[in-house]
Amino acid sequence: MGNVLAFCEFTSSGPKSSALSNLTFARQAAAAHGGEVIALLIGPGAAAAAGAVAAFAAKVVTVEDPGLDNYLAETYAPIVARLAGEHGASVVTATATSVGKDLIPRAAALLDAGCASDISKLAAKNQFVRPILAGNAYSTVEISSPVICVTVRQSEFAPAEALGAAGAVSSAPAGAIDAAGATFDHLESQKSDRPDLGDAKVVVSGGRGMKTGENFKVLEQLADLLGAAMGASRAATDAGMVPADWQVGQTGKIVAPNLYFAVAISGAIQHLAGMKGSKTIVAINKDKEAPIFQIADYGIVGEWEKAVPELIEEIKKVKASR
In-domain check, residue 184 = no
The reply to whether 160 and 214 lie within a common domain is no
The reply to whether 131 and 15 lie within a common domain is yes
In-domain check, residue 144 = yes
Domain count, the chain: 2
The residue among 38, 33, 61 whose CA lies nearest residue 146 is 33
So what's the pLDDT on residue 15?
94
The reply to whether 155 and 24 lie within a common domain is yes
- Please give the Cα distance from 59 to 37 (Å, whole number): 7
The reply to whether 27 and 162 lie within a common domain is yes
In-domain check, residue 186 = no
In-domain check, residue 143 = yes
- Please give the Cα distance from 54 to 98 (Å, whole number): 24
| Helix residue ranges per DSSP H, the chain | 17-33, 46-53, 73-86, 98-111, 216-226, 234-238, 269-275, 304-321
In-domain check, residue 180 = no
The reply to whether 120 and 234 lie within a common domain is no
The reply to whether 146 and 216 lie within a common domain is no
So what's the pLDDT on residue 198?
84
- Please give the Cα distance from 167 to 57 (Å, whole number): 6
So what's the pLDDT on residue 1?
66
What CATH number is attached to the domain comprising 54? 3.40.50.620
Strands 259-263, 229-232: pairing is unpaired
CA 202 to chain centroid: 15
Residue 42's beta-bridge partner residues?
63
Strands 168-171, 137-142: pairing is unpaired
**Domain carrying residue 260:** 202-321
How many Cβ atoms are within 10 Å of 63's Cβ, its own excluded? 21
Cβ neighbours of residue 237 under 8 Å, at least 6 residues apart? 243, 244, 246, 247, 252
- Please give the Cα distance from 167 to 125 (Å, whole number): 24
Asked if residues 229 and 243 have their Cβ atoms less than 8 Å apart, the reply is no
In-domain check, residue 195 = no
As averages over each run of 10 residues, the pLDDT of the chain (322 residues) reads: 93 90 97 96 96 96 96 97 97 95 97 96 96 87 97 92 93 93 82 83 96 97 96 96 94 92 95 92 96 96 96 94 84
What CATH number is attached to the domain comprising 281? 3.40.50.1220
In-domain check, residue 181 = no
The reply to whether 156 and 221 lie within a common domain is no
- Please give the Cα distance from 24 to 247 (Å, whole number): 26
The reply to whether 73 and 161 lie within a common domain is yes
Cβ neighbours of residue 264 under 8 Å, at least 6 residues apart? 206, 207, 208, 209, 210, 284, 285, 286, 304
The reply to whether 88 and 224 lie within a common domain is no
- Burial status of residue 70 (CB atoms within 10 A of its CB: 0-12, 13-18, 19 or more): middle
The reply to whether 157 and 216 lie within a common domain is no
